[in-house]
Homo-oligomer: A and B are copies of this chain.
């Protein structure tokens, strides 16, 4: 899930379900029972998740790991009987990047191995370094200026914003009935407080000032001739958050080697140094840029429709295959991809005959800005900047996305689509015993369904139990296979397979919201 994901945005349309006359949905209970049986009793979702995480490895945009995952998923989908499996370029992304070595330790005042990893797209160190540290703490340009002349050949330690401490809250949770009821009852117009524009402008100004200071800080550390940077964005207990330390563009300006550290280690170094005790760091990173193929890719594959009239229409499902680099992106988003792949496997294995064509898409470069899905939508359906519709636009029945971790499905976000909500309510009914009952009008953001929504296509994301996604795994070095509860993934696979199946069988495509106006890039998320 992209950085903005954890925001849940208020919907723009009211959903007044009880007031609508609900048309009964046709439901083939025998087919749904087969889907449930296959998914719960002969699941392969954990095997798929293992391949995506452990075998393919970290799947940073355009990295070796993502390339492995592209090839493996294409092969695997084909082996299950899907057709037209393809690693489809979406356009130009930028450089790939992989870690070939990463070692960092404190060698004075005593030896201690440190937990950390290079920030994405940072360069190698010049071999193995042994250097003294300088702690750099500055909240104004004047404070920053004081460090002039002090950074040459040093390893610069940046401050830790949120030091870890004993935690009295569990990492993981599931939605309570009460929380789900609040989502179901959500009425945007009744609860949306008018934003305080003066306050928002003040915060934006503070943010701009801070960003400008950070840029100046980076430039100064580089121009003063520092050797490397150690920083941290948070975490605890050996868990640290990761991000990119440099642009992926082929012509990006140079930056220093920079590692993201476990806060406990970073704080020890800072405390020692600030107490006047000389701290020496040994550091070696070797990273490799791949700049031969700058294109980005999505993996797609299909189950052909069986209805003569409807098979030219498409039900899509997907999730992003790329991840951050310090772990194997298990909950973000191997889980979503494994579940989507399992859903199509279930549909093939049960032998159900979907009327419409079903197409799975595993997106690339979501973490860098939803690039895979945005460009797929632009290439196939419409460019939101012009809203000139391509022929495929009218053929898409629905897109279903999954990218909120590994928790089981508790319902679905109707994404402000008033007409679709009562349909989803009925589709959920056979799965109430699996804990999925809630349709909310709340929008949810931050991931690939937005690319469809932005051109007026019906794109939806499911509600998932949060588990430890927000606290422990999302963009951390601990987003590993262990965080995937098999029962949750099985349940989600069944739910997704059933929704996709229903959307493929329905007489009509899913209802759409009115087409949005054309919006230039700068006005979009």
Contacts and interface: CB of A to CB of B under 8 A. Distances in A.
B172 A170 contact: no
Q: Which of A109, A166, A482 has the largest count of B CB atoms less than 10 A from its CB? A: A166
A477 B170 contact: no
A65 B106 CA distance: 14
Interface stretch (A27-35, A266-274, A436-444): A266-274
A472 B477 CA distance: 18
Contact of A478 (B99, B238, B272, B483): B238
A433 interface: no
Given A50-B271, A110-B64, A468-B166, A103 B100 contact: no
Contact of A166 (B110, B172, B328): B172
A170 to B, nearest CB: 5
Interface string A315-329: 000000000000010
Interface string A106-135: 000111110101000000000000000000
Contacts of A277: 55
Given A277-B55, A481-B267, A238 B170 contact: no
Contacts of A111: 98-102
B55 A275 contact: yes
A483 B55 contact: no
User: For this complex, into which size category does the number of interface residues on chain A fall?
Assistant: 35 or more
A262 B326 CA distance: 15
A54 B478 contact: no
A173 interface: yes
A262 B275 contact: no
B328 A55 contact: no
Interface in A467-497: 467-468, 472, 477-478, 480-483, 485
A163 interface: yes
Nearest to A262: B238
A167 interface: yes
Contacts of A55: 109, 272, 275, 277
A165 interface: yes
Given A102-B105, A113-B117, A272-B54, A172 B163 contact: no
A57 B110 CA distance: 7
Contacts of A58: 110, 112
Contacts of A268: 54, 328, 480-481
Contact of A482 (B68, B112, B165, B472): B165
A328 B269 CA distance: 13
Given A166-B467, A173-B168, A65 B101 contact: no
Interface in A227-266: 236-240, 262-264
14 contacts: A50-B271, A54-B272, A57-B110, A68-B110, A102-B111, A115-B238, A165-B482, A166-B171, A166-B406, A168-B170, A264-B478, A267-B482, A268-B480, A271-B481
Given A50-B271, A238-B239, A263-B482, 17 more contacts: A54-B268, A57-B112, A68-B110, A98-B110, A99-B113, A100-B111, A113-B117, A163-B482, A164-B482, A166-B485, A237-B237, A238-B262, A238-B478, A267-B480, A268-B328, A268-B480, A268-B481
